[in-house]
């Protein structure tokens, strides 16, 4: 299983991580490793070593949100008009001193400066990063690309935090004060990542005209972007994403400072368990994020988001149980299970990112991201303060509020108001898409005449036929004995790879017929796809004429083959071709131009024959 997962991940990584996006991958990976060196104990360090209580932690988060709020619109506006690369670099540069501040901080008060720098830096960099990621990735594989990046970072998070925790335990004797040494190392490593990104990252061409020259005009334009983005989102049915930005902080920002502290103080988890939380979370994300992304890119973004959401609620319920019955012997270990469910819920992140960005044109991506962040942080300020207030009353209350807000308010918005962008994008961008591939692909129901028609086309056009017999020969040569095509051990991907290998050795166009054609039909760019059908009774009559025998025996054979083909087409296309309504010819007007459709109809109707006579 692990070998299959690694093979699939390697193949997907090669196809998804290419070109300009490689620099972002290296940047994200190294920053993840650097951050993981602290073992996920940063908040606990501020609380235990720098003596910040729950109210102070909430206040620090609120300060971060206020400053972020003040600069996020500026970051998005500048990114879309001047340079996304420069804004990303400037934002990273502002956060470089933060590890030094934490390394030498005498108490929590000096960390206010780190919060200020971190908020400004993130406000400048975040919109630019999302816009670069959107520009560097293709729509048809966007979820998978983001998922691969998340998986790589998750693998790093599996390994790095335990190393950090082990360093603290080994060299610091478990004293959190030893984290100062790690913060010092993080400073120099972060500086190296900044230099790498500055030298290697390419910028994207801007589609929005440069902003106004005068300062007053610029300020007016910056704050006018909220109204501008709202109008665009309303036209594109994207306003529910703004509602999600307004309601999200009341669930997740309220609990953000307290996840690890809740496990340590309420569930009474030991330091070893606390160190494993991040790794267990990352391992779960690493395993699930790519399969979720593949479903997202094939079936739709919303399906994945709605599938994963309930697991977040299970996580919250488990933590509430662990906090309520913390005298149980298993209570300290409940956070481990809760973190797994939390990771399953968060594994839909690439689908969330894809769905939330695809609703808005590329030229407005930075402003769109900035506007949503602005609304989120506007609500985050009171939400974090309320979370701290509730924590002081009862540490379970912020988590209960998160469960109620997300489950009763945000989930219905996701289910009933968010548009499915995968289908919408296809409808908008495909336009007239006529066949570009050279081959003729003939597939359909058993006995519908695929083989005989393929031979007639071969005679008429002098083309080579690629059918089941050729596949059987290939498989027999590879395995040393005959294996029927439909019952072979080859999976879908291996069959497609073998088909592509055969086609690569064909010098010109070919006729792909039979069951191999079903797999070829997955890629519409391979050529002209023709589906042949006939009523079951007619196919039974043909089998009796060709092979003789009893009618009920022929019927049984046809039905058995129909079930196999139906299973395969449901697996590949989600449809059953044995249950189509009656018709003589079906034409895909997306792929066949009108003038050719007219000619086909004239031929079938007999107009050309009447003129000749």
* Within a domain: 8: no
Claim to verify: residue 415 and residue 557 sit in the same structural domain = no
Is there a domain that residue 264 lies in? Answer: yes
Examine the domain organization and report whether 344 and 369 are in the same domain.
Answer: yes
Considering the domain architecture, whether residues 417 and 461 belong to the same structural domain is answered as: no
- Is residue 611 in some structural domain? no
Can you give the length of the chain in residues? 613
pLDDT at position 608, please?
A: 52
For residue 486, what pLDDT is reported? 47
Whether the pLDDT of residue 74 is over 80: the answer is: no
Number of domain units in the chain: 2
Asked whether 375 and 242 are in contact (CB, 8 A), the reply is yes
What is the 3-class SS of 427-447, one letter each residue? HHHCCCCCCCCCEEEEEECCC
> What is d(CA 311, CA 301) in angstroms, rounded to the nearest whole number?
17
Computed on alpha carbons and rounded to an integer, the radius of gyration of the chain in Å comes to 30
Sorting pLDDT into bands at 50, 70 and 90, what band is 7? low
Tokens 């050279």 locate to 438
Rounded to whole angstroms, how far apart are CA atoms 439 and 528?
Answer: 6
Domain boundary among 429, 457, 472: 429
Q: Are residues 372 and 487 in the same domain?
A: no
DSSP state of 264: I
Out of 380, 409, 429, pick the residue that ends a domain: 429
The β-bridge relationship of strands 527-532 and 464-466 is unpaired
Same domain, 408 and 553: no
Question: Which of 429, 448, 466 finishes a domain?
Answer: 429
Q: State the pLDDT confidence band at 427, using cuts at 50, 70 and 90.
A: very low
Distances (CA, A) of 24 to 35, 132, 207, 358: 16, 9, 21, 20
- Does residue 476 sit in the same domain as residue 338? no
Given pLDDT bands bounded at 50, 70 and 90, which one contains residue 578?
low
Whether 326 is covered by a domain: the verdict is yes
The residue segments making up the domain with residue 517 are 439-582
Distance CA(258)–CA(399), nearest Å, equals 9
User: How do residues 435-467 score in pLDDT, each as one tens digit?
Assistant: 556 788 888 778 888 888 888 888 888 888 888
What's 320's domain CATH number? 1.20.1250.20
Assign 582 a pLDDT band (cuts: 50, 70, 90). low
Supply 365's token pair.
Answer: 């991506």
Q: What is the per-residue pLDDT for 338?
A: 96
What predicted TM-score, i.e. pTM, was given to this entire model? 0.59
Inform me whether the pLDDT recorded for 196 exceeds 60: yes
Q: Which residues partner with 466 through β-bridges?
A: 512
Q: Give CA 36 to chain center in angstroms.
A: 23
CATH of the domain at 500: 3.40.50.300
Give the separation between CA 384 and CA 155, rounded to whole angstroms.
Answer: 30
In 3D space, the residue among 28, 65, 595, 140 whose CA is nearest the CA of residue 381 turns out to be 65
**Secondary structure in 3-state letters for 72-114:** HHHHHHHHHHCCHHHHHHHHHHHHCCHHHHHHHCCCHHHHHHH
Question: Please, is 368 exposed, middle or buried when counting C-beta atoms within 10 Å of its C-beta (0-12, 13-18, 19+)?
Answer: buried
pLDDT for position 165: 76
Does 386 share its domain with 487?
no
Q: Are residues 395 and 488 in the same domain?
A: no
Closest CA to 13 of 36, 493, 27, 5: 5
Same domain flag for 381 and 476: no
**pLDDT computed for residue 272 by the predictor:** 77
Residue 364: inside a domain:
yes
pLDDT at 312 over 80: yes
538-558: average pLDDT: 81
Average pLDDT over residues 248-261: 90
Residue 9 maps to a domain: no
Whether 7 is in a domain gets the answer no
Q: What percent of the chain has pLDDT over 70?
A: 82
| pLDDT tier at 482, thresholds 50, 70, 90 | very low
C-alpha dist (Å) from residue 298 to 143, 290, 301, 302, 441: 10, 12, 9, 11, 22
Q: Which two tokens stand for residue 139?
A: 């729509």
Same domain, 214 and 253: yes
Same domain membership, residue 469 and residue 424: no
Same domain, 424 and 458: no
Q: What's the average model confidence in pLDDT over 530-536?
A: 82
> Does residue 604 lie in a domain region?
no
């Amino acid at each position: 299983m692990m070998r299959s997962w690694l093979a699939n991940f390697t193949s997907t990584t090669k196809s998804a991580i290419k070109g300009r996006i490689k620099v972002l991958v290296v940047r994200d990976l190294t920053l993840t490793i650097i951050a993981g060196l602290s073992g996920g104990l940063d908040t606990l360090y501020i609380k235990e070593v720098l003596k910040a209580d729950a109210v102070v932690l909430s206040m620090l988060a609120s300060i971060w949100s206020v400053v972020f709020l003040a600069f996020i619109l500026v970051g998005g506006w500048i990114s879309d008009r001047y340079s996304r690369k420069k804004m990303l670099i400037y934002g990273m540069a502002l956060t470089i001193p933060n590890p030094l501040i934490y390394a030498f901080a005498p108490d929590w008060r000096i960390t206010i400066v780190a919060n200020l720098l971190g908020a400004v830096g993130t406000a400048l960099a975040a919109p630019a990063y999302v816009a670069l990621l959107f520009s560097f990735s293709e729509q048809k594989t966007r979820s998978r690309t983001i998922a691969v990046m998340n998986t790589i970072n998750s693998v790093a998070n599996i390994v790095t935090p335990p190393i950090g925790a082990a360093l603290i335990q080994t060299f610091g004797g478990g004293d959190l004060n030893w984290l100062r040494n790690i913060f010092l190392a993080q400073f120099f490593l972060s500086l190296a990542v900044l230099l790498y990104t500055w030298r290697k990252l390419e910028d994207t061409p801007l589609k929005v005209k440069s902003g106004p020259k005068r300062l007053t005009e610029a300020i007016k334009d910056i704050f006018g972007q909220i109204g501008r983005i709202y109008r665009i989102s309303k036209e594109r049915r994207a306003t529910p994403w703004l509602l999600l930005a307004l309601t999200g902080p009341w669930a997740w920002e309220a609990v953000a400072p307290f996840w690890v502290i809740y496990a340590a103080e309420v569930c009474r988890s030991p330091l070893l368990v606390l160190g494993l939380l991040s790794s267990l979370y990352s391992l779960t994300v690493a395993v699930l994020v790519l399969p979720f992304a593949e479903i997202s890119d094939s079936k739709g973004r919303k399906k994945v988001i709605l599938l994963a959401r309930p697991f977040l609620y299970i996580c919250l319920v488990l933590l509430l149980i662990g906090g309520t019955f913390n005298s149980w012997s298993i209570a300290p270990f409940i956070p481990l299970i809760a973190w797994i469910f939390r990771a399953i819920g968060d594994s839909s992140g690439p689908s969330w990112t894809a769905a939330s960005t695809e609703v808005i044109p590329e030229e407005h991506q930075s402003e769109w991201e900035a506007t949503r962040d602005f609304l989120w942080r506007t609500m985050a300020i009171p939400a974090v303060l309320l979370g701290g207030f509730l924590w002081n009353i009862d540490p379970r209350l912020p988590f209960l509020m998160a469960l109620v807000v997300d489950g009763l308010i945000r989930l219905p918005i996701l289910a009933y108001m968010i548009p499915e962008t995968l289908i919408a994008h296809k409808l908008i961008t495909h336009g007239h898409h006529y066949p570009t591939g050279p081959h003729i692909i003939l597939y359909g129901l058993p006995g519908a005449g695929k083989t005989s028609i393929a031979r007639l086309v071969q005679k008429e056009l002098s083309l080579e036929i690629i059918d089941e017999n050729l596949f059987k020969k290939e498989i027999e040569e590879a395995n040393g004995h005959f294996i029927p095509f439909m019952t072979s051990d080859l999976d879908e991907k291996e069959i497609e790879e073998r088909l592509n290998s055969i086609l690569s050795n064909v010098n010109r166009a070919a006729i792909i017929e039979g069951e191999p054609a079903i797999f070829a039909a997955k890629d519409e760019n391979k050529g002209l796809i023709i589906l042949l059908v006939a009523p079951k009774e007619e196919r039974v009559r043909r089998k009796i004429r060709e092979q003789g025998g009893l009618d009920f025996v022929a019927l049984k054979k046809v039905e058995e083959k129909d079930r196999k083909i139906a299973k395969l087409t449901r697996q590949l296309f989600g449809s059953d071709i044995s249950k189509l309504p009656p018709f003589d010819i079906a034409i895909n007007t997306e792929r066949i131009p009108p003038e050719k459709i007219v000619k086909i109809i004239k031929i079938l109707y007999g107009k050309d024959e009447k003129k000749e006579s």
